[in-house]
Amino acid sequence: MSKKAVSLKQVTFKYKNSTKFAITNVSLEINADDFLLLVGYSGSGKSTLLKTINGLIPNFYAGTFGGSIKINGEDIIDKNPAQLAKQVGFVFQNPENQISNLTVEKEIAFPLENFGVPRNEIITRIDELVELLGIERIRYKSPFSISGGEQQLTAIAAALALDPPMLILDEVTAHLSPNSANDLLKILFKLNQEHDKTIILSEHRLDRCLNYVNKIAYIEQGKLKISGSLKEVLSSKEYPENLLPKVPRLFYELARKSNDFNNFSSKFRKSFNVENLPITISDFKKLMQIEGEYHD
C-alpha cells in the first residue's frame, strides 16, 4: 500500500465573473509513486484542477471554492502557492511566459533565492539539477537563445529547485516538437522512477505518454468521469472514443469489423474482448501472437 500524496475531496470551483463551475465535485486520490495523466478536451477544467493542487486556486484566483485538498495528509486550503512551493513544483504550458530571469542558472536559482537559501547551497543545487536534467551546456545561456524543449527543461529545473516531492505539468509539451516532447517525457519518467517524484501531467496527445504513465484520469466539463489504471480507464464506456490512443482505437475498430467479416477465425474474434485491451504496440503484438494471427 503506497503513500497518498494528494487527496481531493468534492473539490468545486467557480471563477469570479463566470456563470458556470469550472470543476464540480472532483474527488481523486494520487499515490506517492504515481505518474498520473490527466486527459480531457480543451476547456474541460484540466488546468483548473491542477491549479487547485498547487494553491493558485483559490489563493491567487478569486472565486467560489468548495471541498478539501490534502497534500501528504495536510490541509492546504489556506496556504498560498509560495508556501506550497516546497511541496509542489508547477510547470506551465508556455515556456516563455514562466521564465523571468536572464540566464538559465539564475532562473533555477530564483526559487532558492526566494526562500533565502545561502549562496553556496544554491550553487550546489544548480550543479545537481543541470546534471540531472542534462542541461549543463546551456547553464550560462540566455533562456531566449535556446530551444523550446530546453526552455521547458529550464522551467522544470526551476520547479525542482526546492526539491518538492511532487511535480505538476500543465500541457508542457504543447509548444514542443515531437522529438523534444519525447525526450521531456523520458526525463519525467526517470524522475518518477529513480527520484521518487509524484508526477501529474495533463496532455492532449496521449500516444506519446502511454509508455511512461501508470494512471490516467479523464475529466469532462468539470467532472471527473473516471480514473484508474490505463486498462481500466481506456476500456471503460465512460471514456470517449475520440480521445483514445491509436492502439486501443485500432483494437475497437477491428472488434467492430470482426463481427462483419467471416474471414476472422472465431478464436480471433473471442480475443477481441475488452479485458484483453492492448495499450501499446507491443501489447498488441503479444495479443496477435497468442492468437496465432501475427508473426514477426
Partner 1 sequence: MSSKILEYFDYESDKSILHQVDPRGKALFVVVITCITILFRELVPLLLILGAIIPLTFLAHFFKKWMRTILILLPLILLIIIINALLLKVEYPTTIGIIMALRLIILTAVYGLFFQTVSPDDISQMLIKFRLPFTFAWAISTAYRFIPTLANETNIIMAAQKSRGLQIDRGNIFKRARNMVPLLIPIFASAMRRSWQLAEAIESRGWNATKNRTYLYSLKMKWWDYLVILVCLAIFGLFLFLVITQVDLPIWMQLYIPSKYELKELFKAAWDWIKGLFTK
Nearer to partner 1, 60 or 294 (CB): 60
* Residue 113 interacting with partner 1 (CB under 8 A): yes
**Of 63, 66, 67, 81, which one interacts with partner 1 (CB under 8 A)?**
81
**What is the DSSP code (8-state) at residue 210?**
T
x-marked contacts with partner 1 along 142-161 as a string, rule CB under 8 A = --x----------x--xx-x
CA 155 to chain CA centroid, Å, is: 15
SS3 state at 209: helix
List C-alpha distances in Å: 242 to 41, 123, 193, 229, 258: 10, 47, 30, 19, 21
* Among positions 3, 27, 43, 60, the unique one binding partner 1 when judged by CB under 8 A: 60
User: CB-wise, 117 or 281, nearer to partner 1?
Assistant: 117
* Contact present, 162 and 86 (Cβ < 8 Å): yes
CA 186 – CA 183 distance, rounded (Å): 5
Residue 159 to residue 140: CA distance in whole angstroms: 18
Beta carbons of 162 and 85 less than 8 angstroms apart: yes
Choose one: 114-122, 198-206, 252-260, 273-281; the region binding partner 1 (CB under 8 A): 114-122
How near is the Cβ of 215 to partner 1 at its closest, in Å?
Answer: 23
Least separation in angstroms between residue 293's CB and partner 1 is 50
Please give the DSSP secondary-structure letter assigned to residue 3: P
Asked if 100 is part of the footprint of partner 1 (rule: CB under 8 A), the reply reads yes
Instruction: Break the chain down into helix, strand, coil percent, rounded to 5.
Output: 40, 20, 35
294 lines the binding site for partner 1 (CB under 8 A): no
Shortest CA distance to 33 belongs to which of 183, 165, 131, 184?
165
Q: How far is the CB of 109 from partner 1 (least distance, A)?
A: 4
114 in contact with partner 1 (CB under 8 A): yes
Q: Decide if residue 105 touches partner 1 (CB under 8 A).
A: yes
- Residue type at 91? V
Here the cell at position 104 is: 538559465
Q: Which stretch binds partner 1 (CB under 8 A): 18-26, 115-123, 230-238, 274-282?
A: 115-123
DSSP 267: H
In which order are the strands placed within the sheet that holds 223-229? 88-91, 166-170, 198-202, 35-39, 215-220, 223-229
Is 86 an interacting residue with respect to partner 1 (CB under 8 A)? yes
Stretch that binds partner 1, among 16-24, 84-92, 202-210, 277-285 (CB under 8 A): 84-92
Q: Going residue by residue from 9 to 48, which x/- string records binding to partner 1, judged by CB under 8 A?
A: ----------------------------------------
Binding stretches for partner 1 (CB under 8 A):
51, 54, 56, 60, 80-83, 85-86, 88-90, 92, 94, 96-102, 105-106, 109-119, 122-123, 144, 155, 158-159, 161-162
